[in-house]
Amino acid sequence: MAGGGSTLRVPSLLFLVLDAATANCTNRVALLIECDAGVRGFRDQQQSLFADSLRLSLLTLNLGR
């Protein structure tokens, strides 16, 4: 399954009697670990163009506007 993990994870954490802030934070930690694993996988297979990715990611930053 690609994507949508938060759709299942956050309600499950809420069901386990975690408050909303803790469930959200726990989910974000899991997402960070998943993203790190993805980046490492692409890098290990030499499928990553880091400089291009960095330039494109700058477009997604919210600069407080």
> Does the pLDDT at position 22 exceed 50?
yes
The average pLDDT across 39-60 equals 82
- At 1 the pLDDT is 46
> 26, exposed or middle or buried, with CB in 10 Å at 0-12, 13-18, 19+?
middle
Each domain of the chain, given as residue ranges in start order, spans 9-58
| Integer Cα distance of 51 and 4 in angstroms | 28
What band does 2 get if pLDDT is binned at 50, 70 and 90?
low
- What tokens were used for 24? 């959200």
The average pLDDT across 52-61 equals 81
DSSP state of 44: H
| Integer Cα distance of 53 and 42 in angstroms | 12
| Integer Cα distance of 21 and 59 in angstroms | 28
- pTM of structure: 0.62
Give the model confidence (pLDDT) of 24-48 as tens digits: 999 999 988 988 898 888 888 888 7
